[in-house]
């Protein structure tokens, strides 16, 4: 679990890169590089206020993957006030 001050979603990752998605820590935030198709799915999930999971890592790798979970919560008191 990583806490971040901000999240940047970059929808310019090419399918030919060999990655499902990439995540990296940038300053005190998180940058997630995703394909244009995943970006459209993310946008729709945000419009619909639905949870969304992004799987990061190489397409052909059997290794443990990283996940970026976008979750809607009912109780805002338990979330970051900033």
How far apart are the C-alpha atoms of 64 and 82, rounded to whole Å? 32
pLDDT tens digit sequence for 1-33 = 667 789 999 999 998 998 999 999 888 899 999
Catalogue all structural domains in the chain, each as residue range(s) with its CATH number. 6-70 (3.30.1360.220)
Output the pLDDT for position 33: 96
Rg of the Cα trace of the chain? Answer: 14
Helix residue spans in the chain (DSSP H): 36-47
Among 5, 54, 3, 13, which Cα is nearest to 34's?
13
Q: Which percentage of the chain shows pLDDT scores above 70? A: 87
Contact in structure between 21 and 32 (CB atoms under 8 Å): yes
Among 46, 53, 24, 21, which Cα is nearest to 34's?
21
pTM (2 d.p.): 0.79
């Amino acid at each position: 679990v990583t806490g971040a001050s901000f999240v940047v979603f970059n929808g310019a990752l090419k399918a030919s890169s060999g990655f499902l998605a990439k995540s990296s820590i940038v300053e005190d935030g998180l940058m997630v590089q995703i394909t244009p198709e995943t970006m459209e799915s993310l946008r729709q999930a945000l419009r619909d206020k639905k949870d969304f999971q992004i799987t990061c890592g190489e397409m052909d790798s059997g290794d443990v993957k990283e996940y970026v979970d976008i979750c809607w919560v009912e109780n805002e008191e338990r979330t970051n006030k900033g």
